[in-house]
Amino acid sequence: MGVKLKDIIQPETINIKDLEGRTVSIDAFNTLYQFLSTIRQRDGRPLTDENGNITSHLSGILYRNSSMIEKGIKPIYIYDGKAPELKSETQAKRREIRDEAEQIYKEALKEGDTEKARKYAMRSSKLSPEIIESSKKLLTYMGIPYVEAKGEGEAQAAYLVSQGDAYAVASQDYDCLLFGAKRVVRNLAVSSNLKNLEYYQLDRVLKELNITQEELIEMGILIGTDFCEGLKGIGAKTALKLAQKGQLKEKLEELQKESTHDLEEVKNIFLKHNINTDYEIKWEKPQKDKIIEYLSYQHGFSEERVAKASDKLKNLNSSQGSLDAWF
């Protein structure tokens, strides 16, 4: 879910053409959750094969990435490593919310209330080890590289941008800005409409708000992050006013008295996160036969549709030439 900054930062609107020839680091877990939540049947059931294996995420990976690649964008997926201990409470609460949503979803199915069922089904999505591993397998067949983070995937994705290995981070969460991502694109990997994308440039965000990166992190802590609850009654607009009045430190001291967490440790998650610096990024030639065998023969996807999508991995539009230039 991440820190809630929507009320105070305004995105620029960019077109998919603005990203032609660019590399983007994609927050894998965030994107997989989006695929699992939105790519569902009318009654909320996830897409599955004849053996009951969930395939919603595989559909998202194939069709969304093939569309991006056809338009000249080079994706790199970033998978979360071990979460900081401070995130355990948030993770436990999320599991509880998903379990409750799943129960309501199942009851709605029994009652024949498809609208309610779909609503709560979207909230019940869970990432299993099988879903994670199958996503990596498909990415490998597609020739798309992925990086294993040591900790938070968003921090690793931001690091790739800082190193010049990617142009921007693609994620739905605003936490990327707290982790120092220079550029963030929302809706890129999860929307079928690639015309109006939200784009945030960190330097511009800080300049418009008239704050520093450290103050943005302190505001996030007061609002509430995945690593600690914020101060009651403080949202993004109030936190910004506190920053502009120079009162963040005072409020953080107030929060520290209430919190069971060391707020300096929380702050350092964003400033000094554990990063994997030993990674290799290499785009491989797509293996069309393996993609078809895996998706069509093993998971029941339409062979014709899979083949068509696979062809997009090799053939960019005329202005971009051939994907062979990447290899």
Residue range 112-133: mean pLDDT, rounded: 88
pLDDT at 192: 63
Give percent above pLDDT 70 in the chain. 94
Q: Is the pLDDT of residue 320 over 50?
A: no
- pLDDT tens, 43-72? 888 999 999 999 999 999 999 999 999 989
Lowest mean pLDDT: which of 36-45, 200-209, 240-249?
Answer: 36-45
Q: Which residue has the higher pLDDT, 105 or 190?
A: 105
Residue 74's alpha-carbon distances to 210, 248, 270, 313, in angstroms, are 33, 40, 26, 10
Q: Is the pLDDT of residue 325 over 80?
A: no
Q: Which residue has the higher pLDDT, 88 or 104?
A: 104
pLDDT category at 279 given cuts 50, 70, 90 is very high
- pLDDT tens, 243-275? 999 999 999 999 999 888 899 999 999 998 889
pLDDT category at 322 given cuts 50, 70, 90 is very low
pLDDT category at 1 given cuts 50, 70, 90 is low
pLDDT at 193: 63
Q: Which residue has the higher pLDDT, 95 or 150?
A: 150
Give percent above pLDDT 90 in the chain. 68
Strand partners, 186: 198
- pLDDT tens, 145-202? 999 999 999 999 999 999 999 999 998 889 999 999 999 999 887 776 667 799 999 9
Q: Which residue has the higher pLDDT, 108 or 181?
A: 181
pLDDT at 158: 96
Residue range 101-106: mean pLDDT, rounded: 86
Q: What is the mean pLDDT of the chain?
A: 89
Q: Which residue has the higher pLDDT, 123 or 202?
A: 202
- pLDDT tens, 216-234? 999 999 999 989 899 999 9
pLDDT at 109: 84
